[in-house]
Structure 1
Amino acid sequence: MLTKDVSAEIEAVLSALDAEGKEPSVALVKARLKSKVPMPALIAVIKSWRSSQHVPKVEVAADTQEPSLEQRVKQLELQVAELTRKLTALEQKHG
């Protein structure tokens, strides 16, 4: 069975929620994900994120179709939000 790593997508969602000042919950994370991730995996990831700001590797069954342009743009927006948050934190730390 083909699998794909969705850790980066989950981390981008968690970081975006954090940047918005929202506490990550299963419902909020699941609503923003493009990939289908089992609830027990989401619960474990959110617990890990809350305790150490770490997202463990999460793999799900690979979708055989390519993501749409809209999905790709949304993913890029999440990645930009994550990178912006990290850059701001670095600037404040070394400012």
Structure 2
Amino acid sequence: MLTKDVSEELRAVLEGLQAQGKEPTVALVKARMSTSVPMPALITTIKSWKSANRIPKIEVAASGQPEIDRVSQLEQQVLDLTARITALEAQLSDK
């Protein structure tokens, strides 16, 4: 499964909240993220930020769009190969 590192996005969100004078909470951070991050990862990140002003490396599953494209490509490939097999079978039966 493909993963995406969201540590920098989390850092930007937390620094933005800090610049606004707001205390980072799970709800505030989650609302500002463009990528969906699991709740336990958010909690760990916020605790680490509050205690040491540090962001751990957080990776999440990459978006599902490439997977959908891949499935579509595989379906098309199956259709193409089926057509080729049918054509080859027709050639063999003519001989």
TM tier relative to shorter chain: 0.5 to 0.7
TM-score (norm 2): 0.67
Q: Which residue of 1 aligns with 2:35?
A: 35
Q: CA RMSD in A?
A: 1.3
Distance 2:8 2:51 in 1: 18
Q: Which residue of 2 aligns with 1:10?
A: 10
Q: Which residue of 2 aligns with 1:59?
A: 59
TM-score (norm 1): 0.67
Distance 2:64 2:45 in 1: 25
Higher relative contact order (CA 8 A, sep 6+): 1
Distance 1:7 1:65 in 2: 21
Q: Which residue of 2 aligns with 1:50?
A: 50
Which segments of 5 or more consecutive residues in structure 2 lack a partner in the other structure?
Answer: 67-95
Secondary structure of the structure 1 residue equivalent to 2:9? helix
Q: Which has the higher helix share?
A: 2
Distance 2:17 2:65 in 1: 28
Deviation of the 1:63 alpha carbon: 1.3
Identity between Structure 1 and Structure 2 (%) = 65
> Structure 1: which 4+ aligned runs deviate by more than 2 Å?
none
Distance 1:37 1:4 in 2: 10
Secondary structure of the structure 1 residue equivalent to 2:23? coil
Report the count of equivalent residues: 66
Which segments of 5 or more consecutive residues in structure 1 lack a partner in the other structure?
Answer: 67-95
Q: Which residue of 2 aligns with 1:19?
A: 19
